[in-house]
């Protein structure tokens, strides 16, 4: 059964990769920028995050030390394009305080900890949920953790590969238990799912006509 699920998942990956090609995620310079982006992208589109990142870079605020020192009111102004800037400013402040305490603000010091420990620490930070934590692990720290988002659930539910009540952990386990645990694969797969979600598997009025998964024959198994 596991081999069958692996074949199905790899077949989907191949179809998506053939259509969309390499996605080059995460579009950032350095692990800290990835982590900040992972928080800012909550409940907003990436182009809005890019505008906020540009603002932070312009005044050279993309460091733990400088983000700790910048007044919250100023930080809100910098990240305003990302939306929910009051909440996100608090989340960013909480996150950099964690980094200052846990690794003295040095992201490289995080790399000595195992993935399970880091994930637990991230999830204990207010404002960091599973998707954000796993994005940090995968894209910033190169850990083989599969990121699940709304697109993942939508695409695989519509193809009857997961059940409608499958939660985050259950959906994530479906991928991690049936795919080779490789950072490059998890990175590209997640990005490709987002691509097909944005272009075809929309929340309403999905465009199935030219979808690369249109002819995909799903199995009967669900998580």
Chain segment 24-82, per-residue pLDDT in tens = 899 888 999 999 999 999 999 999 999 999 999 999 999 999 999 999 999 999 999 99
pLDDT at residue 217 in the model: 64
pLDDT at residue 218 in the model: 56
CB proximity list for 62: less than 8 A, separation 6 or greater:
30, 32, 33, 36, 53, 56
Spans in the chain with pLDDT lower than 70: 1-2, 217-223
| Secondary structure letter of residue 44 according to DSSP | S
pLDDT at residue 28 in the model: 81
Q: What is the pTM of this model?
A: 0.93
CB proximity list for 136: less than 8 A, separation 6 or greater:
34, 35, 38, 122, 128
pLDDT at residue 215 in the model: 82
The token pair at 42 is 């909550």
The token pair at 8 is 């199905």
pLDDT at residue 220 in the model: 47
CB 154 within 8 A of CB 203: yes
């Amino acid at each position: 059964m596991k081999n069958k699920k692996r074949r199905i998942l790899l077949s989907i990956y191949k179809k998506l990769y053939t259509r969309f090609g390499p996605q080059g995620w995460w579009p950032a310079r350095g692990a800290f920028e990835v982590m900040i982006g992972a928080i800012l992208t909550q409940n907003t589109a990436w182009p809005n995050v890019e505008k906020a990142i540009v603002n932070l870079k312009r005044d050279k605020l993309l460091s733990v030390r400088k983000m700790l020192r910048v007044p919250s009111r100023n930080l809100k102004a910098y990240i305003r394009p990302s939306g929910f800037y009051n909440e996100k400013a608090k989340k960013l402040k909480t996150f950099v305080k964690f980094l200052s305490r846990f690794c003295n603000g040095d992201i490289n010091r995080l790399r000595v900890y195992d993935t399970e420990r880091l994930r637990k620490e991230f999830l204990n930070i207010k404002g960091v949920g599973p998707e954000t934590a796993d994005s940090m692990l995968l894209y910033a720290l190169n850990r083989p953790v599969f990121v699940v988002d709304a697109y993942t659930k939508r695409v695989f539910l519509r193809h009857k590969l997961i059940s409608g009540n499958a939660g985050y952990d259950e959906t994530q386990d479906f991928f991690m238990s049936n795919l080779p645990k490789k950072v490059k694969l998890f990175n590209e797969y997640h990005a490709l799912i987002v691509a097909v979600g944005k272009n075809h598997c929309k929340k309403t009025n999905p465009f199935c006509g030219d979808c690369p998964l249109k002819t995909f024959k799903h199995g009967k198994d669900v998580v």
